[in-house]
Amino acid sequence: MSKGLRSSRWSEIAGSYLWTSLFCAAIAVLLTFVGMTETFRETLVISFCIGLSINTAFVLLSDMLRAWESWYLGPIIITALGLAFGLTIAGITVLGQPWFFFSSNYSSLTAGIFFGVVGFLMFSTREQLLQARTQLAEAEAARAAQERRNLETELRLLQAQIEPHFLFNTLGNISSLIRSNPDGAEATLQNLSRLLRASLKRTRGETATLGEELEIVTAYLDIQKVRMGDRLETAVIVPDYLKSLPLPPLLLQPLVENAVVHGIDAKIEGGRIGVEAGIEGEQVIIRVVDTGGGFGSGTQGSGVGLRNVRERLSGLYGNKAALDLIENPGGGITAELRLPAVAS
């Protein structure tokens, strides 16, 4: 790749000399034609000295340009340097006096400045065009990369939706309850159906509301309560008027699953999981609070689900949404989701 870059750099440089030569020849022809100079040959030499010198200054110093904040200051300085050097060379070549065009005859200096400005304007326009094109290409690449990341996240999410261990464990629980507690078995079966139905719906890419997501989360928590017995306590406290808010699927559920698996289930005595939502300013805040063991040990791998959520957030909302994990003073973790309240 660097080889390709280098050869394109060389052809760019060669091209710039070619254009400069044509430009200088045109100036010499023009000046001779309007009768401003003595001989065409001399004018051509002076014009080439100045033009090639300015071009060389740009080739050698243009890397420095990118470090400059202002877009015009650098090129002006380089043009001036090139012009001064070119006039000196022209003085030596044509008259054998380096300072001739700075002391005795100002016509070449004037013409040099004039065409220097013209050349500079042409150059900077071209440079800005190039820069705009590069920026466009970069933005395009960034967008494509973001799209690819979104797709990958979606895929990972689909794969992660129903964890096999959870599925078979739930089936084991249902089977164990069928005789001893038929009502409990039926309720668990219905909760499992709700979860499976919800994941099918998501596979079809439909949007959801906070209320619908909370139903899924409740189904999930109820199944976990059957599984964990009195080791798990739950409380979902969300005012009704928030339930119609649109909420992309699979932002809330992974946080709740995380709280169960890495928070409460890892702790022998169990604990409590709370889901709360509210509005602060123009943001919806959704919190999943657990009293579990926190991120001490045995939480390797819990980062994956959270990373999915975060990548989805940035894909959906850019920097207008955030997920924070806060350590509770009394132990456990609060996962805090902030989203813009108005769907964009």
**Residues in contact with other proteins by the rule CB under 8 A:** 164-169, 171-177, 179-180, 226-229, 231, 265-268, 295, 297, 299-300, 302-303, 306-307, 310, 314, 319, 322, 324-327, 333
User: Computed from CA positions of residues 297, 330, 224, 311, in that sequence, does the dihedral angle turn out positive or negative?
Assistant: negative
Is 27:5 a contact under the CB 8 Å cutoff? Answer: no
Q: Given the complex with other proteins, which of 79 and 173 has the nearer CB atom?
A: 173
Min CB(39)–other proteins separation in Å: 46
Q: Given the complex with other proteins, which of 154 and 265 has the nearer CB atom?
A: 265
Task: Please state, in angstroms and rounded to a whole number, the distance separating the CA atoms of residues 254 and 179.
Answer: 32
Q: Given the complex with other proteins, which of 47 and 153 has the nearer CB atom?
A: 153
Closest C-alpha to 219, from 245, 243, 246, 196: 196
- DSSP lists the bridge partners of residue 53 as none
Closest C-alpha to 253, from 294, 187, 199: 199
Q: Given the complex with other proteins, which of 55 and 224 has the nearer CB atom?
A: 224
Is 290:263 a contact under the CB 8 Å cutoff? Answer: yes
Q: Given the complex with other proteins, which of 219 and 333 has the nearer CB atom?
A: 333
Min CB(62)–other proteins separation in Å: 17
95 conformational bin, left if phi > 0, alpha if psi -120 to 50, beta if neither:
alpha
Min CB(168)–other proteins separation in Å: 4
Min CB(118)–other proteins separation in Å: 34
Q: How many CA atoms lie within 13 A of 149 on its CB side?
A: 17
Min CB(261)–other proteins separation in Å: 10
